[in-house]
Structure 1
Amino acid sequence: MGKKLFQNKYGYFTEDGREYVITSPKTPKPWANAISNGDYSTIISQTGGGFSWRTSATENRITRTFQDTIKDDWGKYIYIRDEATKDYWSATWKPVCKESDFYEVRHGIGYSVIKSRDNNIATTMKIFVVPDNPLEIWELEIENTDTKERQLNLFTYFEWALGDAPDINREFHKLFIDTKYNVKMNGLTAEKCMWSMENSRGQAGNTNWPYVAFHSCSETPIAYDTDKENFIGMYSSEEHPKAMDNSKLTCKTGRYGDAIGALQVTVNLEPGEKKKIVFTLGCADSMEHADYLANRYNNIDESENAFNEVNKMWDKYLNTENINTPDNGMNIMTNIWLKYQALSCRIWGRTGYYQVNGGYGFRDQLQDSLIYLENNPEGTKDRLRIHASQQKNDGSVTHWWRPISKKGQVSRCSDDFLWLPCITIAYLKETNDFDFMDEEITYLDGGEGSIYEHCKKSINRSFAMFSPRGIPLMGAHDWNDGLSGIGIDMKGESFWVGEFLYYILSDFISIAQEKEDKNFVEKCKDICELLRTNINKYGWDGKWYLQATQDNGEKVGAKYNEQGFIYLNPQIWAVISGIADNDRAKKCMDSVSKYLLKDYGALLLFPEYSTPDEKIGYITRYAPGLRENGGVYTHAATWAVRAYAMLGDADKAYEAYRKICPPNRSNDIDTYMGEPYVTPGNSDGPTSPYYGRGSWTWFTGSAQWLHRVAVQWILGIRPNYNELIIDPCIPKEWNGFTYTRKLQDDIYMIEVDNSAHVSKGVKEIIVDGVKVESNKIATFGDKKEHVVKVIMG
């Protein structure tokens, strides 16, 4: 069976770390899997709850759900009925909620497998999304473990949404859905003659939904239904549906019901006999496309082939980089789950169980795209192109936008546009692909410019948003969206933005020099000096840096503030940016250790706000200790790891990392409540009655950053244009570690020997048998494997 890693009373990781096995459906909160192929996506919880969408979970929802993570009772289900006894149950725990003889959920990379055993019938349901096609497969294996023949009927059930979500006016939306039974595909189709998108005359809600949804089966159904009232019955429920009292479904379709998808299939099994049945659910481009997809995948062999392709697809993303350290939690998360979370949920699906989104955030997906760099840098490059196209000629950008309607919100915040040069720099350090800087991208309001020019416009826009004191203005907010009241009159300042800009300019100067842009080089140098002087003059508060000043000049994050007297970001970015000298860098991080680094990671601020303050923003409207208001906001907590490592404080860096590494929360799982295999958006702070509770899992930008700080700042291996820097900052107890990664088509197999048991310091590096004179290895560019031996001391 293999070793069970990080086992708790609800589940464990398999020995290879690629599956999380849930042994009870009654986890503290829904523990889900977000599965996507980059276009079509589904999410499923350990009870069978969940929903599906194509391209956008808000503009193009396929199946219906409403957020209720307490009941977790919206899903896509298979009922099983024994025809001799009329007893029935479901292949997933919901909706019937029968106490099974055996129940197990395996969330894997690109799939989930739910096993149960009831009434001497064992079922294994595997759910996955087909690569490169807009459909999901439910592959059900059903086995008769009884000593007698069993006659069973299977009933699928879910509600169609078809378009905008949430469809809060269900009584209106249901009037436009048309369902049919399609003999050729052994299943149902569903179309909708109304969508909120604009038609050719600019009218919203006066155009057809342009897809065809379908639900089909490898077996010929004996009956079907598309009306919720027929299936559930008036005043009944999914737990006890009317359909289970009738021998067959009604075979009604059309436009006059409340649209569902339900197929009924008969299965007869001899003692010991097994049978596989495939159900598909998809969203096709046309009726012909639906026929093709349904008929192609209504086949056991084709389903198994598709699942093999899922594994191959994910191997491509997971296997180009591998760490092996004494910390199993770090290994599992870095090698597998953080990559999967960032790609499948954040970049492709853009929706989680606790936050349904579907759009693109300018800063959000740019940061997430860093996860591609070790496995497919073209993915980062594509995101840079897409986001550059959301920039106007004045350097402003779209804060967020919808992928189908293209509607979005113009950004008034002070950091969005700066992430374009920031992520471009990271891409160049990884690839050394300076030709990309000449690629032309169209501006949102017309004309085009090179990527270099797009980055310059972002930086110049920031230059134009300075206060008279030479500090960047806050605007609507900075990275911390909750600081929404500080700078709405365009007078409040953000010291964090100043640090962030300084960080970007420190690297962008060399790029401008490469482009021989001498005037801009000098301008960037002048601004760097201005920022260093002014942030240290006006932003230093004695033992730490201020977060901001309000429009009226009041300080935020100052020692005299009764609430919120220290913020995390300006301290850690003073170190990350290099704007603080050694003395101040140490002092501000000592303050982080004293006030902010708690049991479950670094708090975003301290002490929390207890009453709303509109001059600060909506951050003060959260309950004390909740999310940004004195909680651990995981995204920023990852940056704290880097800051400690940059100061050479391995103990604190590892402590700050270990406390936010999800498997480590397995020891207090009823306190944590969240899935221990993905990062949460936040954990409750000390003043919350639920101190340590993880919340808003899956859909958080912290996944990519937790991966990045583990590899680049604890293991200390990071690319720098045409070289690889090796500078570990590890617990001195470690004997060493190994790290293998692809870089510019070379493979580097790095073995770090820490027999000296130091936390920092490289004594010797030998590359392919040849000693090098520094801790920087020049890249070979020969597409070969290279053995790197590192001795710490």
Structure 2
Amino acid sequence: MQFGFFDDKNREYVIQKPDTPLPWINYLGSVNFFSIISHTAGGYSFYKDALLRRLTRFRYNTQPADINGRLFYIRDEDTIWSPAWKPVKTGLDRWECRHGTGYTKITSAKNDIEASLLFFIPVGDNAEITLLRVKNTGNKNKKIKLWSVIEFCLWNALDDMNNLQRTLSTGEVEIAPAAIFHTTEYRERRNHYSFYATNTNPSGFDTDRDAFFGQYNGYHEPEAVSRGNCCASVAHGWSPIAAFQFDIALAPGEEKEIIFSLGYVENKADKKWEKPGIADKKQAQKIIDKYSSPGQVSAALDELKSYWDGLLGVYSVSSPEKKLDRMVNIWNQYQCIVTFNISRSASGFETGIGRGIGFRDTNQDVLGCMHQIPQRVRERLLDVAATQLASGGAFHQYQPLTKRGNNVIGGDFNDDPLWLIMAVCAYIKETGDWEILSEKVMFENNPGITGTILEHLLKGFDFVTSRRGPHGLPLIGRADWNDCLNLNCFSETPDESFQTCTNMDGTTAESVFIAALMVLAGKQLAQVLSHEGHGKKSDEVNKITGDMEQTIVKHGWDGKWFLRAYDALGNKVGSSSNTDGKIFIETQGFCGIIQAGHDKGYPLMALESTEKYLATEHGIVLVDPAFTDYHLNLGEISSYPPGYKENGGIFCHHKPWV
């Protein structure tokens, strides 16, 4: 079933039915302020960090899905409907969503009222702007009531969800005629607040969630909408919201426009207060005033489109294949920038709570966009390098707000340091910026331990090459690129995290994948060392990579494809001798890239086996056959039912490398 189409001229994907198989999401924002928005206006906004600076509340794993976000209600006599279709889900005469580059537009109609919603984040400002248009397309006068509602998150998204004994007692707001300011915890340690404002004086407002919706009502049936009026509630603890009501009269053919701004402001310590107990709102007012007219909003949207014109215009192709041009020229490049910005830390599946930005992930992400934003990539590489451990290993993730590494989802993923080598070398190839190698950067965010970027790369390489198992292959540690291949876990305890538990000493389980990546990264590192005048060290690295390539040929070949690993008991993983999990995707691609066993025809045989056993009409599966039983020696990968996630799922991530 087709739900939409690509509009190549306008660089938009057009969704024509609201009941898509899953919420189809766009990502708004360019530098610091970001929003996730579904095709029915669900989602949330945050400043830099979806865990620590969440502006609006969102609930995952709900039924129905995608139930809250940006809520709009229209009451036309006794008919209540939502311009975005959800949350009311009243049948509409017409509905369409257009996800564009950095903006989303939803248009709908019901009973001679046409409504459109435009959402975007302007370049350079920490705010999401919404332009709402309502038009009477009939031949009779219309009187409608309209509501716009957002629900504030109490900043820390995990606390907001779990620590109710505190958060239900902290909510605070300040109210202006056409703006509601969320000032929870501003009275104490916070120097930031958020706001939801409109350019049109509302007919009513609410800031207390229960007062607006009713204690036992869902988002689809707000009590205020049912009775026709807000009640001017003032949140004091519990759950603050911003709800505006507008009573609108429309003559035939008449259209009215209302602008909303959801923003974030930080004040300096000596600028926190306008007067005792009243937050200083000068910065917020500047943003509100800047987007107070349709002309200003239109100009900001044009600037945003020009911004994306510049990014997408750096590289383009022209081929006989329309779909290839579309993918390369628009959507692949757009999505690479989005991934750089958010690094999969927040999505329809990642809640923004359980992880920050990954070390490995980020070094991979920059590979796809450094031709577009080289300066930002440079800054990101320095940030990531600063979280590297003094040993040469790496924190597996760091929080984007604090830029500090942590082991919340585990550590000791032994492939991590090699990806920094890959990323820095790719950056130099793209930009010619050899000076980055001499930049001094902290280890472990500790100003007392510093080293040049080149020293970071060497420490990372030495970390991997000095940790080898019985076959001379690199030790896997917690896991490698396949985070669920936990060969040292051996977990028998329910509720124990596969990502953080270790029950083996880690001196036996080896990764053929890390070996191949080590060769690939090492060859590039050797070239860098040679260029920088370190010929002896370059020769040493080349010797190590050459020896490792031969080790892969000797101990990593299974007969028709490359092995995946050796487990903590010394058994082969990803072998024809296994009952399940005979062949994995990662080593076929990377061992092929380094041409391991080329003189014996191994790379071609491995790709032929990939096509035979892993390739499907929907993409290449990660492993075949999928595991049907839990294997203590393999960890999380075998905990999933066949076909889910790493146990035989299709990962878009791996396919380009293969």
Q: TM-score scaled to structure 2, two decimals?
A: 0.90
SS of 1:519's equivalent in the other structure is helix
Query: Which residue in 2 is equivalent to 1:253?
Result: 234
Q: Is the 8 A contact 1:178 1:190 kept in 2?
A: yes
SS of 1:421's equivalent in the other structure is helix
Aligned residues: 618
Q: CA deviation at 1:225?
A: 0.3
Equivalent residue letter for 1:606 = D
Query: Which residue in 2 is equivalent to 1:44?
Result: 37
Residues 110-150 of structure 1, C-alpha deviations (whole Å, 9 max, x = no match): 11100001121101110111211111011011111121221
How far apart are the structure 2 equivalents of 1:522 and 1:138? 59
Equivalent residue letter for 1:435 = E
Query: Which residue in 1 is equivalent to 2:298?
Result: 304
How far apart are the structure 2 equivalents of 1:17 and 1:418? 40
Q: Unaligned regions of 5+ residues in structure 2, if any?
A: 268-280, 490-503
Residues 143-167 of structure 1, C-alpha deviations (whole Å, 9 max, x = no match): 1112122122221112111311142
Q: Is the 8 A contact 2:340 2:366 kept in 1?
A: no
Whether 2:368 is the aligned partner of 1:371: answer: yes
Query: What are the residue-to-residue correspondences of 1:534-613 with 2, within 5 Å?
Result: 534-582=551-599, 583-613=601-631
Equivalent residue letter for 1:526 = K
Q: CA deviation at 1:525?
A: 2.1
How far apart are the structure 1 equivalents of 2:304 and 2:288? 18
Whether 2:181 is the aligned partner of 1:189: answer: yes
Task: Identify if the C-alpha distance between structure 1 residues 468 and 245 changes in structure 2 by more than 3 Å, giving closer, same or farther.
Answer: closer
SS of 2:317's equivalent in the other structure is strand
SS of 1:469's equivalent in the other structure is coil
Q: CA deviation at 1:580?
A: 2.5
Whether 2:643 is the aligned partner of 1:625: answer: yes
Q: CA deviation at 1:23?
A: 0.8
Q: Unaligned regions of 5+ residues in structure 1, if any?
A: 1-7, 195-205, 641-793
SS of 1:387's equivalent in the other structure is helix
Match of 1:320 among 314, 318, 327: 314
How far apart are the structure 2 equivalents of 1:257 and 1:76? 20
How far apart are the structure 2 equivalents of 1:37 and 1:431? 21
Q: CA deviation at 1:635?
A: 0.9
How far apart are the structure 1 equivalents of 2:2 and 2:569? 53
Match of 2:472 among 470, 473, 494: 470
Whether 2:421 is the aligned partner of 1:404: answer: no
Q: CA deviation at 1:67?
A: 0.9
Task: Identify if the C-alpha distance between structure 1 residues 103 and 171 changes in structure 2 by more than 3 Å, giving closer, same or farther.
Answer: farther
SS of 2:17's equivalent in the other structure is coil
Whether 2:486 is the aligned partner of 1:484: answer: yes
Query: Which residue in 2 is equivalent to 1:743?
Result: none
Residues 484-538 of structure 1, C-alpha deviations (whole Å, 9 max, x = no match): 1347522111111111101111222121111221331222122122212211111
SS of 2:168's equivalent in the other structure is helix
How far apart are the structure 1 equivalents of 2:538 and 2:564? 28
Q: Is the 8 A contact 2:395 2:412 kept in 1?
A: no
How far apart are the structure 2 equivalents of 1:431 and 1:213? 38
Match of 1:351 among 320, 338, 346: 346
Residues 451-478 of structure 1, C-alpha deviations (whole Å, 9 max, x = no match): 1111111111112111243211111111
Q: Is the 8 A contact 1:124 1:140 kept in 2?
A: yes
Equivalent residue letter for 1:361 = G
Query: Which residue in 1 is equivalent to 2:169?
Result: 175
Whether 2:282 is the aligned partner of 1:288: answer: yes
How far apart are the structure 2 equivalents of 1:432 and 1:407? 29
Whether 2:380 is the aligned partner of 1:390: answer: no
How far apart are the structure 1 equivalents of 2:189 and 2:632? 43
Percent identical pairs in the alignment equals 29
Q: CA deviation at 1:389?
A: 0.8
Query: Which residue in 1 is equivalent to 2:528?
Result: 511
Query: Which residue in 2 is equivalent to 1:161?
Result: 153
How far apart are the structure 1 equivalents of 2:96 and 2:366? 33
Query: Which residue in 2 is equivalent to 1:23?
Result: 16
Task: Identify if the C-alpha distance between structure 1 residues 334 and 520 changes in structure 2 by more than 3 Å, giving closer, same or farther.
Answer: same
Q: Is the 8 A contact 1:218 1:300 kept in 2?
A: no
How far apart are the structure 2 equivalents of 1:528 and 1:599? 36
Equivalent residue letter for 2:289 = N
Between 1:369-378 and 1:606-615, the stretch displaced more is: 369-378
Task: Identify if the C-alpha distance between structure 1 residues 207 and 566 changes in structure 2 by more than 3 Å, giving closer, same or farther.
Answer: farther
How far apart are the structure 1 equivalents of 2:148 and 2:613? 54
How far apart are the structure 2 equivalents of 1:419 and 1:257? 45
Q: Is the 8 A contact 1:369 1:379 kept in 2?
A: no
Query: Which residue in 1 is equivalent to 2:457?
Result: 455
How far apart are the structure 2 equivalents of 1:270 and 1:345? 46
SS of 2:654's equivalent in the other structure is helix
Query: Which residue in 2 is equivalent to 1:434?
Result: 434
Q: CA deviation at 1:257?
A: 4.4
SS of 2:324's equivalent in the other structure is helix
Q: TM-score scaled to structure 1, two decimals?
A: 0.75
Q: Is the 8 A contact 2:167 2:238 kept in 1?
A: no
Q: Is the 8 A contact 1:63 1:159 kept in 2?
A: yes
Query: Which residue in 2 is equivalent to 1:532?
Result: 549
Query: Which residue in 1 is equivalent to 2:57?
Result: 64
Query: Which residue in 1 is equivalent to 2:120?
Result: 128
Q: CA deviation at 1:433?
A: 2.1
How far apart are the structure 2 equivalents of 1:243 and 1:322? 51
How far apart are the structure 2 equivalents of 1:544 and 1:17? 45
Equivalent residue letter for 1:542 = G
Q: CA deviation at 1:391?
A: 1.4
Q: Is the 8 A contact 2:80 2:90 kept in 1?
A: no
Match of 2:224 among 225, 243, 256: 243
Q: Is the 8 A contact 2:563 2:573 kept in 1?
A: yes
How far apart are the structure 1 equivalents of 2:450 and 2:61? 45
Match of 2:256 among 266, 275, 293: 275
Equivalent residue letter for 2:133 = E
How far apart are the structure 1 equivalents of 2:299 and 2:594? 49
Whether 2:83 is the aligned partner of 1:97: answer: no
Q: CA deviation at 1:407?
A: 5.2
Q: Is the 8 A contact 1:216 1:298 kept in 2?
A: no
Q: Is the 8 A contact 1:34 1:345 kept in 2?
A: no
Equivalent residue letter for 1:281 = L
How far apart are the structure 2 equivalents of 1:43 and 1:296? 23
Equivalent residue letter for 1:64 = R
SS of 2:221's equivalent in the other structure is coil
SS of 1:502's equivalent in the other structure is helix
How far apart are the structure 2 equivalents of 1:580 and 1:182? 71
Task: Identify if the C-alpha distance between structure 1 residues 537 and 247 changes in structure 2 by more than 3 Å, giving closer, same or farther.
Answer: closer
Q: Is the 8 A contact 1:391 1:398 kept in 2?
A: yes
Task: Identify if the C-alpha distance between structure 1 residues 373 and 193 changes in structure 2 by more than 3 Å, giving closer, same or farther.
Answer: closer
How far apart are the structure 2 equivalents of 1:379 and 1:180? 36
Which structure carries more relative contact order (alpha carbon 8 Å, separation 6+)?
1
Q: CA deviation at 1:339?
A: 1.8
